Structure 1
């Protein structure tokens, strides 16, 4: 029996049954168009061999599109009503037993997932999208690739290269794990309720080898945060607080091959990591 997807009428019926009113607080905008959820799954290249984690499955429209491929899915849902209903929806729609596991939890606090998923697929609310993505990449090293739907502004930031106007802390931190790219647009009209922002798909793939240790990541991210908290300042000033003063910051930057007069948006994650390594060496010497 093939898996059947949800249409707009199905989603409104489910929401009414559960007394769910989409809330801005949880960033809930449910996708009501089967072609759009299939587009996300195709962009993520999901196959029956994949173990997929979905964040925020909601009423299940994207979940069913992933399950349609034959892949196993772990769905992490913060809303207990939605988490409780999802297995029933899946069963009613032809999903075989055992293919779907629902974890009723806050995605920002999850530290273990059954089955070590290797692909991430999600429609993420704009207010938590970057923290959730970084948490999952940090916590679940088995994740090798993924596609997420996010607010256009957030997606453009995640995929931005150094030197671009929207390059910032999220861009640099996301790049720690591997390359990101914009992978498509999604019409506002496929959501219920219709949001007042545009959405994009962003795809990522994790680098084969880890970039550095956890200590090195934390040190690098602290440098990134300092650089962008005062992004108009030259790095010798912006990093003075974390590197022991302006003169010390200048010395570290010069040893790392970075101009002390540069600004944060000019540096790649490789540059930030080099600054972090030099600063660590300076403390040890």
Structure 2
């Protein structure tokens, strides 16, 4: 982070426990499990997330599920543009008010898009994001992350807070028990790694699970095609391979390929043993397999 970025800190009055509850009461907000809402109320954690994301003045940050604005305010301290996507109409409507109240000189840096993040396209955003930094709703974290990485190729880095178990799965290495579909699909976009843990006591209401940070750094030059048609082909192979984890790939991919014999032919052509199982393959191996006809 540059000296300019550091010097730009401290303009926003970040939210603490009392402020979060006061805002919720003022706006008539009740956190709902349906939307996966747990509001963060620890300023130091928000600053740590922003620092770990490594964003700076030149970044346009996409935030999903800003809630009452805890992370939003911390981001506005560091970057010149934050695009916040919020599905809850009440929260989306009140977020600019909160920013104007607590950081009036930074209010112009914020744009709010009131819609479902799963449906966001490039055309819906006022600026194309270079980074995704978000406390993702835990009930839809993986599909939202994968959808945004696929739809918004300008995102160079993603740092997201998710349920700790999900963080472990996203960053898992081949061969482990928790390695699976999320691990492979996240790795399609670039290297994935765990970037820290977050305790449950910083949330209101306090969730029943711990949280973790996951970072994806998109390939500067992808080793494989990134177009939607090819990605869908890779997704189809991955889904088929893990639908029946205990079966060999020759058997598990028979439906995808048309027959066990054809599955074996494609596996061999991709340099993969037909007796292997899906959890032993890295993303590159699945890509090679999807390229076989």
What band does the TM-score fall into relative to the shorter chain? Answer: over 0.9
Q: Secondary structure at the match of 2:33?
A: coil
Aligned to 1:31: 40
Aligned to 2:62: 53
Residue number among 109, 132, 136 corresponding to 2:119 in the alignment: 109
Aligned to 1:92: 101
Taking the aligned partners of 2:112 and 2:165, their CA distance within structure 1 comes to 30
Q: Deviations over 1:84-112 (max 9, x none)?
A: 00001001112424200000000001113
Length-normalised TM-score, structure 1: 0.96
Aligned to 1:178: 190
| Contact 1:107 1:132 (8 Å CA) reproduced | yes
Residue 164 of structure 1: how far off its partner (Å):
1.5
Aligned to 1:236: 250
Residue 5 of structure 1: how far off its partner (Å):
0.6
Aligned to 1:283: none
Taking the aligned partners of 1:102 and 1:233, their CA distance within structure 2 comes to 47
Q: Deviations over 1:105-160 (max 9, x none)?
A: 00001113221110100001221000001110110000000210000011001101
User: Structure 1 residue 270 and structure 2 residue 277: aligned?
Assistant: no
Taking the aligned partners of 2:13 and 2:138, their CA distance within structure 1 comes to 28
Which range moves more in the overlay, 177-186 or 112-121?
A: 112-121
Unaligned runs of 5+ in 2: 1-9
Length-normalised TM-score, structure 2: 0.93
**Aligned Cα RMSD in Å?**
1.1
Equivalenced residues, count: 279
Taking the aligned partners of 1:51 and 1:235, their CA distance within structure 2 comes to 42
Aligned to 1:260: 274
Taking the aligned partners of 1:146 and 1:238, their CA distance within structure 2 comes to 32
Taking the aligned partners of 2:216 and 2:16, their CA distance within structure 1 comes to 28
Residues 127-166 of structure 1 aligned to structure 2 (within 5 Å) = 127-166=139-178
Aligned to 1:72: 81
Residue number among 207, 213, 216 corresponding to 2:219 in the alignment: 207
Residue 170 of structure 1: how far off its partner (Å):
0.7
